[in-house]
């Protein structure tokens, strides 16, 4: 369950930031890059802040 939530949040952030970059300001692409870098870091270190937050909220795997 946690992995699905994490993927949904990451995907939503990427799509939202792309829409904001198109319709508001190109600088929102930095947010897209941040999310992508965070996903890459998470795959390498096997640590994700959102996973820790969801665990503290009581959401199980």
First-to-last alpha carbon distance for the chain, in angstroms, is 5
Break the chain into its structural domains and give their ranges.
2-56
pLDDT in tens, 1-50: 899 999 999 999 999 999 999 999 999 999 999 999 999 999 999 999 99
Number of neighbouring beta carbons within 10 Å of residue 21: 16
Count of CB atoms situated within 10 Å of the CB of 10:
17
Question: What's the rounded mean pLDDT across residues 56-61?
Answer: 92
Tell me the CA distances in angstroms from 3 to 7, 29, 39, 54, one per residue in order. Answer: 6, 24, 12, 10
């Amino acid at each position: 369950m946690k992995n699905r939530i994490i993927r949904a949040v990451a995907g939503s952030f990427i799509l939202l930031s792309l829409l904001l970059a198109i319709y508001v300001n190109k600088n929102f692409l930095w947010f897209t890059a941040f999310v992508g870098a965070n996903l890459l870091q998470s795959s390498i270190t096997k640590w994700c802040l959102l996973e820790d937050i969801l665990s503290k909220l009581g959401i199980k795997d």
